[in-house]
Structure 1
Amino acid sequence: MKSNSQPIKLFLVLAFSCTSLLVSLTPVLAKPTLSSSLSDAYGGLRLRSNTKTTLAQATTFNQPPLPSGPPPGGRVRGGAKRGGCPLTKPDLTALVDFTDDKANSVINVWGQTTVEHPSWFFYVPYTKDLPYEVEFVLQDQDSNDIYRKAIALPDKAGVMRVSLPTTAPALALDKQYRWFFTINCDKEKDSPPTFVNGVIKRVELNPAAVKELQTAEPLKRYAIYAQNGIWYEALTTLAQLRQNNPQDAALQAEWRNLLNSIGLKDIAAESILSDKP
């Protein structure tokens, strides 16, 4: 009996040592190398683990000066009860930068883009079960229609995206275009529709910003566009990031920060509706 005790003790020591080693290694093997943020389809890049650190320093949108010539004017809110539409809160709203010239009682709604076929975002308070006619129109400086499209109301109230398709004429550089988003709630069309409208201008980014964009991740792209006063790409990039990472609290905070900064605090908490039918 005594001769067998040493091998048995040696086996137990080795077994215990191996078990302890596996237990100590388990947390290391299970530790993720990336954050829990979802993979982002925009640009094929993933948000990295320092996302929240970056977003903690809120990006500021640098509003560019108004274009030369007559003030663009426009409407950022639809207007209560206009066109026979029921009163809602929030009202029909264009998610676009604007300035309020209180001295002259004029609101100027305008923004810059760098792409030929940009996207617009609107908060729409009405749903598809209502028989309202909705239309998006884009015109050149001579009020000629560039694009006109009937828009289907969404399943639920929220922020919807309207994109200029590649089949439509491209926006020319340094040209201004006026857009309209209208909702006609009056079947007889005896009343004017409720609408929002503003001016968009396509510009070129400075070479340094263009070079930086070539290697930047989506979150950094958003910051570059915002810092250079490019409203439409800043908003589109951030909206896509939010849709691809719906549980990311930092992105939600940045979205609120952006809309709050232009006076659209009441829209910041509204859902961004999916582009997919």
Structure 2
Amino acid sequence: MNSNSQPIKLFLVVVFSCTSLVVSLTPVLAKPTLGSSRSDVYGGLRLRSHSKTTLAQATTFNQPTLPPGPPPGGRVRGGAKRGGCPLIKPDLTALVPFTEEDNSVINVWAQTTVEHPSWFFYVPYTKDSLYAVEFVLQEYPNSKDSKEIYRKAIALPDKPGVIRVSLPTTTPALAVDKQYRWFFTISCDKEKNSPPTFVEGVIQRVELNPATVKELQTTEPLKRYAVYAQKGIWYEALTTLAELRQKNPQDAALQAEWRNLLGSIRLNDIATKPLLLETPSSPQLKVLKAE
């Protein structure tokens, strides 16, 4: 063999070995790292089976058009006035979509699919203030003969934040395609010489098509949230996301999605406020801070 062939042979062996190494490593690099899991993208969210959520793109809430008939009106901000509740910014706020018409009329209206939904409110006052707070649900349209469905005194929290008010299962179920008006009122004047601060709106229960219902029954909570948001079902979208945050209080992606959802209905100032939820085993409030 020629003496020059030895370096050539050595070079070919090195090249072949490097090529084999790259080929053998390729499938390893393509696999997810240890501890990760399969993910799907739905509605802009990258969904994972473990507790950490990766956000690909924020989910869009598709607000449905108002139903035919008289506009529901409503009030999404409390509007505390001198002589009544003290002015604190942000004011009492209902976490619900609203529209503003050309004539400056505000309509506070959203949909639910459940018989006993939950409402969320940001309250700037605490239990030390001793203010009287009440939630009322009644049939809509309003009239002198409007039937009251539910009335409940609400305890103010230890600190300002977002609280949840749920319609108990002991009350009559909301009927499909029927609208109801709700009120959340804070009376700061013990003598009741000054008007209370309040928010109000209209809720309507609707039915989803069977295919969507089946999908919701067989999918994980984060994907359910995305489905509800895309279908314009505000109350279940908000409740599902709030419960996810309760279970995963340190999940930055869920915090970001919460800010995105509230920002989509122009409540950016509320999106960073603490979320106060009752723990399943205790009446104490669990505080979730939005980073």
TM class, shorter-chain normalised?
A: 0.7 to 0.9
Question: 1:133, CA displacement in angstroms?
Answer: 0.3
* Structure 1 position 227 matched with structure 2 position 223: no
**Pairing 1:223-262 to 2, within 5 Å after superposition:** 223-262=226-265
* Structure 1 position 168 matched with structure 2 position 167: no
* Structure 1 position 214 matched with structure 2 position 213: no
2:128 corresponds to: 129
Residue 52 of structure 1 aligns with an amino acid whose one-letter code is T
Question: 1:235, CA displacement in angstroms?
Answer: 0.2
Note the alpha carbon deviations across 1:206-253, whole angstroms, 9 max, x for none: 222112112110000000000000000000000010111111000000
Comparing 159-168 with 74-83, greater Cα deviation is found at 74-83
Between the aligned residues of both structures, percent identity stands at 78
Residue 91 of structure 2 aligns with an amino acid whose one-letter code is D
1:8 corresponds to: none
Q: Describe the shift of the 1:82–1:115 C-alpha distance in structure 2 as closer, same or farther (beyond 3 A).
A: farther
1:77 corresponds to: 77
**Pairing 1:1-277 to 2, within 5 Å after superposition:** 33=35, 48-49=49-50, 52-53=53-54, 55-81=55-81, 84-101=84-101, 103-141=102-140, 142=142, 143-276=146-279, 277=283
Contact 1:123/1:158, CA 8 A, preserved across alignment: yes
Question: 1:47, CA displacement in angstroms?
Answer: 5.7
- How far, CA to CA, are the matches of 2:172 and 2:259 in structure 1? 33
Contact 1:78/1:93, CA 8 A, preserved across alignment: yes
Query: Which has more strand, going by share of residues?
Result: 2
Greater relative contact order structure (CA < 8 Å, 6+ sep) = 1
Structure 1 gap segments, 5+ residues each: 1-30, 36-45
Contact 1:83/1:184, CA 8 A, preserved across alignment: no
Task: Provide TM-score, normalisation by structure 1.
Answer: 0.81
Query: Which has more helix, going by share of residues?
Result: 1
2:10 corresponds to: none
Residue 264 of structure 2 aligns with an amino acid whose one-letter code is S
What RMSD, in angstroms, separates the aligned Cα atoms of the two structures?
A: 1.8
Moved over 4 A (4+): none
Contact 1:56/1:250, CA 8 A, preserved across alignment: no
Matched residues, number: 235
Structure 2 gap segments, 5+ residues each: 1-32, 38-46, 284-291
Note the alpha carbon deviations across 1:20-39, whole angstroms, 9 max, x for none: xxxxxxxxxxx86358xxxx
Question: 1:274, CA displacement in angstroms?
Answer: 2.1
Task: Provide TM-score, normalisation by structure 2.
Answer: 0.77
Q: Describe the shift of the 1:50–1:58 C-alpha distance in structure 2 as closer, same or farther (beyond 3 A).
A: farther
Q: Describe the shift of the 1:59–1:193 C-alpha distance in structure 2 as closer, same or farther (beyond 3 A).
A: same
